[in-house]
A and B are shown apart, each in its own frame.
Chain A
Amino acid sequence: MKLVIIDYGMGNMKSISSAFKYLGVDEIVTSDKYKDIKSADKLLLPGVGSFVNAMNKIKDLALDEILGEVVLEDKKPILGICLGMQLLCNSSEEDGGAQGLGYVDAECRKFSKENLKVPHVGFNQVNSNPNTKLYDGLNEENDFYFTHSYKLQSNYNINQSICHYGEDFIASYEIDNMVGTQFHPELSQTNGLQLLKNFIDKFLDA
């Protein structure tokens, strides 16, 4: 299986590739090139930092066009982690607002409850949505590691799993070949490794 970690210059790729290596994925490529991404079985969109910067870099590298083809047309399974999960959605209000890739009907907002410490950092419990494959083999409630200031919300059914910090927010979504986690499975001990294993095993290679 060939996993391509999409490199647009933002995010700690080492933890992610080391987790997939540990799980026995034989070919892990970090790249921003069309031919690598086009030939991938599965894709990973990482990311930390600013939404606006990330979208600018994605456009500069024409990754928006490449992803449109391989994710929407070829239906390659893609996992977005943290900022990567947010980028697949409609928009974010970070830094005055920006449009995302728009594949998933959800928006990003800042945690705004009074007296709430932001960023939201640490392990928190996620209620796994029973209509998903991501949490196979895990409990109904599982601890995953979060570190973020903006969170996702949606009025649509995107098979969201919910977490609570001051308010409910979307910890993960799963629509056909597109999955995203606000938390970092690669930093979530055995719970996270199980989830990554599900992404490898339960989503058909394109």
Chain B
Amino acid sequence: MLRKRIIFTLIYEDGKFNQSRNFRLQKVGDINWLERNYRFKDIAFSLDELIVLNASKEEKKIEEFANILERLVDDVFIPVASGGGVGSVDDAKLLFNSGADKLVLNSLLYTNPDVVRQIVKQYGSQSVVASIDYKTIGGNSLVFINNGMQKIDIALDQYIEHVQNLGVGELYLNSIEKDGTGFGYDFDTFDKVANTIKIPLIIAGGAGNEKHLISGLENDNINAVATANLFNFIGSGLPRARKLIIEKGINIAEWK
């Protein structure tokens, strides 16, 4: 049986990894700090997948980010998806060559669909994750690009259809309002758009404890749960959560 997945999202900005809260990033430490305090390679054994996003605001400095990515994923034997500021097929190639197994695209899905199609053609659907940030205001879910700063005039369900038509392989839906709160995922919105979604769905935004992860893993419409919550989950938090989830008999992978 296909297993559900637990994904950790690491957010990088100008040399530092971050704790995000409603898309306001709080700098936590650089890669040495991450390795020193969190023995990242051990934590990877509690994860099904890792996402590493470049949220550097000024200039994306993709080469510097690619170097950090390369160092981070050495000896990590899980799938790594990466993105943030990818604007061309060359940027995509750089991240793939730096250890990304999949690419995460966000603003480009709106600003340059042709480049998205080219990347899909070259690397295959299964190599491209479409990331969508949204806010729900007055019952309407609105889509934002550029690190959540710019609203676009397409409703969430229509935008989901648009990105699926570009041939992407997975969808990463992130609630800006729930992001970093630890109050739990936005299931109301996920359930509302579930019928539109024909590809695997990763949910993000709001997980604060293992109960939140479990409620996502038990939802039939959801294929994977993601968290970027460094404080709650990194360290012993994630290994403990995974052990508990396996003990509860929830459908996630096991390895020797």
Contact = CB atoms under 8 A, between A and B. Distances in A.
Contact of B200 (A83, A122, A184, A194): A122
Given A119-B169, A124-B1, A149-B126, A143 B77 contact: no
A118 interface: yes
B255 A143 contact: yes
A121 B99 CA distance: 18
B100 interface: yes
A123 B79 CA distance: 10
How many B residues touch the partner, as a band? 35 or more
Given A12-B96, A121-B170, A122-B5, A189 B77 contact: yes
A15 B121 CA distance: 22
Interface string A62-86: 0000000000000000000001000
Interface string B60-98: 000000000010011101111000000000000000111
Contact of B78 (A22, A121, A187): A187
B123 A48 contact: yes
Interface in B114-140: 121-127
B199 A143 contact: no
A22 B122 contact: no
- Size category, A interface: 35 or more
Contact of B2 (A83, A124, A138): A124
A139 B254 CA distance: 11
B223 A18 contact: no
Interface in B31-82: 45, 48, 70, 73-75, 77-80
A190 B45 CA distance: 9
A124 B3 contact: yes
A129 interface: no
Contacts of B224: 122
Interface in B205-226: 223-224
Interface string B158-174: 00000000000110000
Interface string A13-36: 011001100100000000000000
B5 A190 contact: no
Interface in A120-158: 120-125, 138-139, 142-143, 145, 147-149
Given A119-B199, A121-B170, A148 B126 contact: yes
Nearest to B129: A121
Given A125-B1, A147-B169, A48 B124 contact: yes
B198 interface: yes
Contacts of A49: 122-124, 127
A164 interface: yes
Contact of B99 (A12, A117, A142): A12
Nearest to A185: B77
A118 B199 contact: yes
A166 B73 CA distance: 32
B241 interface: no
B157 interface: no
Contact of B48 (A12, A83, A123, A186): A123
Interface of B: 1-5, 45, 48, 70, 73-75, 77-80, 96-102, 121-127, 169-170, 198-200, 223-224, 252-256
21 contacts: A14-B70, A49-B124, A49-B127, A50-B121, A83-B124, A117-B223, A119-B170, A122-B4, A123-B5, A124-B1, A125-B1, A142-B255, A143-B254, A147-B127, A149-B126, A184-B101, A186-B77, A189-B253, A190-B45, A190-B256, A193-B77
Interchain residue pairs A-B with the least CB separation, the first 4: A123-B253, A143-B253, A119-B126, A189-B255
